[in-house]
Structure 1
Amino acid sequence: MANDAKPAQQRIDQFFSGPGGRADSWRDLVEAAKTWSRGGDRAAYDAALSALAVTEEFHGYPGLHLMTALKEAAAAGDAATSHMLSARIAQALQTKSFRQHASDWSARDEGNGDVPDLLPPTLGPSAARRPYFETLIVTGVPASNWPGLLAEWRRLRRPVDAFIYEPVVVGSLEDAFCAAMLNPNLAAVVINEGFGLRSRHDAPVLRAMTAAMGLNEESDASALRLAHILNRIRPELDLYLMSNRDVEQLAGNPEADVVRRVFYSVEDILELHLSILEGVQDRFDTPFFDNLKKYAQRPIGTFHALPIARGKSVFKSDWIRDMGEFYGLNLFLAESSATTGGLDSMLEPTGNIKKAQEKAARALGADRVYFVTNGTSTSNKMAVQALLGPGDIAIVDRNCHKSHHYGMVLAGAQPLYVEAFPMTEYSMYGAVPLKTIKQALLNAKADGRLDRVKMIDLTNCTFDGHIYNTRRVMEECLAIKPDLIFLWDEAWFGFARFSPFLRRRTAMGAANEIEAWMRDPKSVAAYEKQQAELGKNPADEVLLKTRLIPDPRQIRLRVYQTNSTHKSMSAIRQGSMLAVKDIEFHTVEAQFKEAVFTHASTSPNQQLIASLDVSRRQMELEGYGLVANAMEIAFAIRNAVNTNPLISRYFRVLGADAMVPKDYRQSGFTDYLAAGTNWSSALKSLNDDEFCLDPTRMTLVCGTAGYDGTSFKGLLASRYNIQVNKTSRNSVLIQSNINNTRSDVAHLVRVLAEISGEIDRGLTKGGANAKVDFDAKVNSLMKDVPDLPNFSHFHDAYRGDAGTKTNEGDIRGGFYSAYDAAGCEYIRLNDPEIDRRLKNGPDLVSANFVIPYPPGFPIMVPGQVITQETIDFMRKLDVKEIHGYDAAEGLKLVTTEALARMGKPKAAAPKLKAAS
């Protein structure tokens, strides 16, 4: 409809606007209705209702009935009813009471006194209730018949059903796409044949998206085509096809593998209803947690080494009973050292832990998943130890988490460090350019060492939010060496699986796309075409400039992803998952099991395992909406800080244009909140750019307010009860997650406004001297910043026969050099001896890791030759925490004499004389 064009464009474009944006739109409608009911302008209400009606079509509540009632009240000029009804709907949406109370679905105010259950269960009575979801029905039935269709679906509800759902009807492929994008409550989709292609609304940005998918003709509106589109954007949704043709042939089509079940026409409508409930139940089931709850209710006699189990030692004690009262009885009833009696073993899972891990693999798009209860530090070390052996080379980001470096020590592998692009102004590094990684591979090839390069080990996303183009990195590296293993540390990025925008940038998301590309016959043609263009033996310069295409016939796809489930999902601290998609896993499975035995505790925390199981359930059933909300929260913070006249005078959240150099933003994308940006332009950036910025991670510059990162973090925590994760010399990192609310945003903004006001008043009252001192401090934090030191090289004693181009080293040998006390020396940082040796030799060689916090990466590793830039950086550091460095003793170095002995055979031990 022509009059829908502008509202559709306005609302559908704004995909960044999640649940909070929808609530704001309803609040605006209520305010407009209130104004109208008091004799004000009606036009504003009509415009707000018209705009809102477009996207409300894609939600189950308030649904066709209530939206029709709103329109009829407006058409009748009934301002009072319009105000009453819009206010009731807005309240029901805000509190989610419509999921519990049938009265919320009535157009009349029945006034039955129902109050939504908003309290946590320990703070008030909580009635049992059935979880609510919505099911999308895609049909060719005319819109005039939809009310009857909805009534038929509702008649299927039974009191014995474990869940309750509301149908949402659309009549075209484009509207189905919009519903999937805009409605986080969807859990299932029923696709009937006979629907059209085009939406009823004229939204140009929607046209751009469908054109990019190649959807131009009405014939593209096939049920199977839509199923694949929905599976790509919302893989967690259960899809059902209803056909009145040859369902046997359709069910046997390999392309129907994304569909849960195929039905013939409407002959089995009850079976379809039951299938929908069963599909949701499959995701709702948490094998380990469900079993643990049953175990806790059984009478158990414990004669094993866990006195706290069953809680008797706690609740019968006069001295520690308060711990039991604080945590509650169930925590102790659910504790056990046993792996029998219905429980399972983390080391050798065969029962409910195994089933829980299989469900997690499905949720993450992996072949298999391991639960890890010692954090992602352990996940990383397990992967490195299982996949690398002594002498193997791994190309590693020097700025990665220390667990990767220690993993190399344990495995005896040789790291070949590559450098991320520096962000000197903010004392942080970005991510490693693809050109740098390719150069390392080509150098290894030139030196005859490519066969020893087994792994690429990178952090995605980085602490500060830099996201790799994971597919491009893997494809171009596989073009040089087709059997490379990729280890992606996604400790902070596990949630991205549940966003259709960010999923493509995850390890598993990219691996699945590569796998699909490999099956496409066009992939071989693309490879052979590029080979013909490159010719035989192309120069390295050409290969570095070319976006390389691998040979799909040679690729051995081997991808590992670690994520700190506790950092972005509802898992208890130290909960981690290790996801695997490795066609060669059978060749490393035994050693992987040994790595698990090496690192996993034989006494894992039962509650932690249960939280991993439950966090998977939550993300499969509501992760899409939760992640959308986390992104919306981040955009609200960015906007509030950067546009507030007072706050922006002293603080700012850096945009993508400040965090990612222009050379790595090939699409021209500048920031999520830049004028004219919508989901189409953001999608182009996510598809094409070498690096993107995770929208949920916000670098808040505080140096311009005269605070260093550490001091500002302390101020927020001690004075305002606001906690942040990470700091740099002049910034703090703020992260939104699935736990945050708009109230959190308001609190943060209010605090920043208060601090800004104090600075303002201090400068006004302090006069010229205060301004001079403030400017000097800001200049020190923002301008007089130390250059970031790059990794230099390993000392020759730890390089063996390394060639001149590659720079891998024996980090294990360097690490154990520190165990030889006689072979080590200490020199204080400001001792002139350091400067003399830097100038005249002999080399200064680190005996251990030195990791300052911030920035949190190792500026020295065992066996590394220390350079002037590293010493200059350390001397300018003003942080209190430096791991591996004792200021009283100084730098721990390997002595020149010990280095000289490296590689020489040790003297044989004297033989003992035989007893006479």
Structure 2
Amino acid sequence: MSLGDITDREARHIFNPPSLRADLWMELLAAARRWKTGKGSGNLRAELAQAIASMEPVESLFAYPGAKLLEALKARLQEDDPKAFYFLARRISTAIISGSYRHDSAEWDVHEDVLDPPTDRLSSVLGGQSSQRPYFETLVVTPFEASRWGYLTSQMRRIRRPEDEFVYEPVVVGSFEDALCAIFLNPQILSVVLYEGFAFRSATDVPQLRGLLNAFGLDKDESNEEAISLRLAELIKRVRPEVDVFLLTDRFVERLAGDPVASCVRRIFYQVEEPLELHLSILEGIRDRYQTPFFDNLKEYARKPVATFHALPIARGKAVFKSAWISDMGEFYGPNLFLAESSATTGGLDSLLEPTGNIKKAQDLAARAFGADKVFFVTNGTSTSNKMVIQALLAPGDIAVIDRNCHKSHHYGCVLSGAQPYYVEAYPLAEYSMYGAVPIATIKKALLDLKAAGRLDRVRIVDLTNCTFDGHIYNTRRVMEECLAIKPDLIFLWDEAWFGFAHWSPFLRPRTAMGAADALERYLQSPEAIKAYEAQQAKLGDNPSDETLLSTRLVPDPRKVRLRVYQTNSTHKSMSAIRQGSMILVHDVDFHSVEEQFHEAVFTHASTSPNQQLIASLDVARRQMELEGYGLVMNAIEIALEIRRQINTHPIISKYFRALDPGDLIPASFRESGFARYLEPGASWSHQMQGISNDEFCLDPTRMTVVCGTAGFDGTSFKMLLADKYGIQLNKTSRNSVLLQSNINNTRSDVALLVRVLLEICAGLESKFKDGSGAERASFDRHVNSLMHDVPDLPDFSCFHPRYRKQSGEGTLEGDMRTAFFDAYDAAKCEHLPLFDCQVEKRLASGPEMVSANFVIPYPPGFPIMVPGQVITQGIIDFMRKLDVKEIHGYNHEQGLKLIKVDGEHREASKTPPVSTKPAAKKKR
């Protein structure tokens, strides 16, 4: 079996090949156990030999177990010693899965007594002793013959020192393809050393790797020896930007260092004239990522004896630990929480409002990690981050093209800034009571309508959620390219509250705001960008119609574009940060023009007493993701795919529950690749990457919408059942589904618990129907039908009442929501109308119009079905009346709808709302 066959053997390992490696070892161990107990077939020994031969190409890309242990394992097999083979296989597989080899050097030894290996026998592999120093692996790509690789490894080991902060093991390969394979498969690799002169093709056949290269557009044979090393360095940084690359060359290093392409190389050495310098440089690169300036200073501050004369009694913890009544809080949290508290910004600490020291350095490190120009830490959550960005970038009268279904903080941001929202609609998924994302045609139509109305100059920003709560991910680069082709100075705000982890996945990073901005910036600086624009202009002519522009994939004029991209990131939602930890990421060529008002927005919204522990957790979360985020994210995706596989293929669970796939949540018209199922036969890296690269929308694989209505549960009741009875927590629900999320915290044991619980619930249903009457089953079926088919249509945004469109006039949809919001403060201007009152129908039929005085947001589904100043339509009323949820923000069940009194003014105008931006014929699929 070739390496390519192994890496593509099962679809569920597409996103996490290292888990396939662990599974292969467990399968080998199971076979070894059968051989040891004599329960296997007669040719089991031959099967084990073939399995080891199949695994060797993969194992060559990992430092552990290494050639010595693999040879020892094969020797046990050749000696026909099943007991010795089993115990050595068990030790290796256990060490791989547990990671014990990273700290215990005894794991690397070939012990004579394999039944009871001594724990005190220490090799020189990890520096002569068991080590708790952080461990990583360094990939070495060399032109040397394989017979010399052992010598190269021993030389790198010899130069290590006991005083080194970190310890690493070399992984040696001899080709471009093997190097790429190692980068994808081995998350322990954190640095790469390139010797010039290595081959391009692997000695092992890797067809699936070539398919992956093709998906990335990088499948050409690099025969130019001078270019191949820099090309590999560039590709490694594209796949895993956190990895350091060092180049060893015998050419003129000075000239090579001046090559712009060499900017992706951390340092260039003249061959190996300075092996110690190379070693120290490798460690320095890890140290740069390991440092946490604010957290380090906070720990140092906590160790100091300090007398506090400021207004923070909890600092140092004396009032807690000496208390007769609250000392249990001190016992629960421990002393460090209190020792690290201070309201001062001195003594090694810094000010979050105007950082100049360690907070600024921590933010700069985060900017480097996420590929941003600047990063701002926020301790009030991404709700505050969104309001900061909107306030900084928008002024009264500016128009914001904004997803109507985005988080409420965006809407409130418009109220605070005085910007006028022009709402665009996502495509509906009425059968699941949720929305998808906003089609690019809808966004372009909004911009073109505003242009036709002479108001494109007032359009300042396009504001979208990426990814949505339910996992819909935009083709961010395409959205920005096409919008910039219409208005080249547009600003983009991407709310990526749930998507911060995606930067650490080479598959998902291109869909992030910062990943797309980086790729788009590089493209706009290339000659190809001007050629593409001029070719399109020649084809479109001087005055193309809106219909032509809507049907054309537009490219911008790179000479006019001002690339301005903002991303908000709920670090606490997908990384190891404390709740409410958020970041604002900036990639803005004109940030200098808004920097002052941006800082004013920070002063407006940020607390003057930010939580020190929260800031420290943001610092530490960045460190973790730079050093192990790649592997953690791959595992989170693997967990999600395994949950899908278990739910959708289990013979009993699949009768009552189903995890939805891209084909269920994204209409075919938005999936050019045709990719529909994560676990469909023949799924491959190449197929996945085609969807991620080309489709208008794709799904975040870590977010699983599980239909529970077919089991007779609405989302809310099923969520409560899981929490109250089984201790399984989740967040978002809909009328007939729940959303499960995997993250870097989950393990396969969590999957096992979920599967066991779902099976228990399904078994209860099976037993109930088996023992019950036909009437009971009929009642169940009726309930399922009401949950799955008798669902309310999702209402469109109607329009703002003409009173709140005085600046806009007719023809477009934006409105003065701020004025409507504050009109509602005056009780004399408002009235209440019960939702089920007969007056509602009379008002709808003959007026006066019902105009919402506030935001009305049902949970679920969680989008605002009314905003201040919006005209209420029959569709909105029908939807609200069919809602079976109790939590509706902004709606008082006793008083009813809160309305702004408009009497009869402009009644006829509001009966004919402006042209909708809703895509046609997509109400239900």
1:746 corresponds to which of 731, 742, 752:
752
Once the two structures are overlaid, the 10-residue window that deviates more, 8-17 or 36-45, is 8-17
1:794 corresponds to which of 797, 800, 806:
800
Secondary structure of 1:685 counterpart: helix
Distance 1:139 1:575, change over 3 A: same
2:596 corresponds to which of 573, 590, 601:
590
1:7 deviates by 4.2
Alignment of 1:421-820 (within 5 A): 421-820=427-826
Q: Distance in 1 between matches of 2:2 and 2:240?
A: 30
1:720 corresponds to which letter in structure 2?
Y
1:165 corresponds to which of 165, 168, 179:
168
1:24 corresponds to which letter in structure 2?
D
2:142 corresponds to which letter in structure 1?
T
Q: Distance in 2 between matches of 1:589 and 1:146?
A: 53
1:269 deviates by 0.8
Once the two structures are overlaid, the 10-residue window that deviates more, 497-506 or 103-112, is 103-112
1:112 deviates by 5.6
Identity of matched residues, %:
63
Encode CA deviations 1:444-501: one digit per residue, 9 max, x unaligned: 0001000000000000000000000000000000000000000000000000000000
Distance 1:878 1:3, change over 3 A: closer
Quick check: 2:800–2:815 contact (8 Å CA) kept in 1?
Answer: yes
Which position in structure 2 is the counterpart of 1:73?
76
2:94 corresponds to which of 83, 91, 95:
91
Encode CA deviations 1:518-539: one digit per residue, 9 max, x unaligned: 1111111111011101111101
1:42 deviates by 1.7
Which position in structure 1 is the counterpart of 2:253?
247
Q: Distance in 2 between matches of 1:840 and 1:769?
A: 46
1:368 deviates by 0.3
Which position in structure 2 is the counterpart of 1:107?
110
Quick check: 1:12–1:55 contact (8 Å CA) kept in 2?
Answer: no
Quick check: 2:494–2:568 contact (8 Å CA) kept in 1?
Answer: yes
2:793 corresponds to which letter in structure 1?
D
Which position in structure 1 is the counterpart of 2:15?
16
1:210 deviates by 3.4
Q: Distance in 2 between matches of 1:13 and 1:769?
A: 41
Which position in structure 2 is the counterpart of 1:207?
210
Secondary structure of 2:895 counterpart: coil
Which position in structure 1 is the counterpart of 2:418?
412
1:833 corresponds to which of 839, 855, 860:
839
1:687 corresponds to which letter in structure 2?
S
Which position in structure 2 is the counterpart of 1:57?
60
1:6 deviates by 4.4
Quick check: 2:105–2:131 contact (8 Å CA) kept in 1?
Answer: no
Which position in structure 1 is the counterpart of 2:46?
43
Which position in structure 1 is the counterpart of 2:187?
184
2:208 corresponds to which letter in structure 1?
V
Quick check: 1:393–1:414 contact (8 Å CA) kept in 2?
Answer: yes
Q: Distance in 2 between matches of 1:514 and 1:89?
A: 45
Which position in structure 2 is the counterpart of 1:299?
305
Quick check: 1:13–1:678 contact (8 Å CA) kept in 2?
Answer: no
Which position in structure 2 is the counterpart of 1:218?
223
Secondary structure of 1:218 counterpart: coil
2:286 corresponds to which of 280, 288, 312:
280
Q: Distance in 2 between matches of 1:247 and 1:176?
A: 23
1:65 deviates by 1.9
Quick check: 1:241–1:263 contact (8 Å CA) kept in 2?
Answer: yes
Once the two structures are overlaid, the 10-residue window that deviates more, 798-807 or 156-165, is 798-807
Alignment of 1:314-393 (within 5 A): 314-393=320-399
Which position in structure 1 is the counterpart of 2:916?
none
1:93 deviates by 1.3
Matched, 1:269 2:285: no
Secondary structure of 1:84 counterpart: helix
2:52 corresponds to which letter in structure 1?
L
Distance 1:405 1:267, change over 3 A: same
Distance 1:822 1:622, change over 3 A: same
Once the two structures are overlaid, the 10-residue window that deviates more, 77-86 or 645-654, is 77-86
Matched, 1:395 2:401: yes
Q: Distance in 2 between matches of 1:637 and 1:78?
A: 39
Quick check: 2:12–2:638 contact (8 Å CA) kept in 1?
Answer: no
Quick check: 1:447–1:803 contact (8 Å CA) kept in 2?
Answer: no
Quick check: 2:7–2:17 contact (8 Å CA) kept in 1?
Answer: no
Secondary structure of 2:812 counterpart: coil
Quick check: 2:210–2:219 contact (8 Å CA) kept in 1?
Answer: no
Which position in structure 2 is the counterpart of 1:121?
none
Q: Distance in 2 between matches of 1:114 and 1:762?
A: 55
Quick check: 2:849–2:903 contact (8 Å CA) kept in 1?
Answer: no
Secondary structure of 2:514 counterpart: helix
Quick check: 2:4–2:208 contact (8 Å CA) kept in 1?
Answer: no
1:48 deviates by 2.2
Quick check: 1:825–1:892 contact (8 Å CA) kept in 2?
Answer: yes
Which runs of no fewer than 5 residues in structure 2 stay unpaired? 122-129, 908-925
Q: Distance in 2 between matches of 1:4 and 1:362?
A: 34
Secondary structure of 2:773 counterpart: helix
Q: Distance in 1 between matches of 2:505 and 2:416?
A: 36
Once the two structures are overlaid, the 10-residue window that deviates more, 345-354 or 518-527, is 518-527
Secondary structure of 1:561 counterpart: strand
Q: Distance in 1 between matches of 2:58 and 2:309?
A: 60
Q: Distance in 2 between matches of 1:868 and 1:96?
A: 60
Secondary structure of 1:627 counterpart: helix
Secondary structure of 2:676 counterpart: coil
Encode CA deviations 1:881-904: one digit per residue, 9 max, x unaligned: 000000100100001259789xxx
1:69 deviates by 2.3
Encode CA deviations 1:830-853: one digit per residue, 9 max, x unaligned: 111110010111110000000000
Quick check: 1:823–1:897 contact (8 Å CA) kept in 2?
Answer: no
Aligned length, in residue pairs: 890
Encode CA deviations 1:809-840: one digit per residue, 9 max, x unaligned: 00101101110100100000011111001011
Q: Distance in 2 between matches of 1:162 and 1:523?
A: 46
1:22 deviates by 2.2
Q: Distance in 1 between matches of 2:3 and 2:348?
A: 58
1:175 corresponds to which letter in structure 2?
D
1:159 deviates by 0.4
1:38 corresponds to which letter in structure 2?
T
Distance 1:871 1:4, change over 3 A: closer
Encode CA deviations 1:204-250: one digit per residue, 9 max, x unaligned: 22223334314224327711010001010000001100001111111
Quick check: 2:13–2:19 contact (8 Å CA) kept in 1?
Answer: no
Distance 1:52 1:881, change over 3 A: same
Distance 1:38 1:292, change over 3 A: same
1:84 deviates by 1.8
Which position in structure 1 is the counterpart of 2:874?
868
Q: Distance in 1 between matches of 2:535 and 2:906?
A: 53
Distance 1:464 1:684, change over 3 A: same
Encode CA deviations 1:17-60: one digit per residue, 9 max, x unaligned: 44433222111011112222334322331232222222111111
Quick check: 1:8–1:51 contact (8 Å CA) kept in 2?
Answer: no
Quick check: 1:466–1:693 contact (8 Å CA) kept in 2?
Answer: yes
Encode CA deviations 1:132-188: one digit per residue, 9 max, x unaligned: 000000111111111111111111111000000000001000110000000011110
Secondary structure of 2:562 counterpart: coil
Once the two structures are overlaid, the 10-residue window that deviates more, 7-16 or 70-79, is 7-16
Distance 1:566 1:9, change over 3 A: closer
Encode CA deviations 1:652-674: one digit per residue, 9 max, x unaligned: 10011001110100011112211
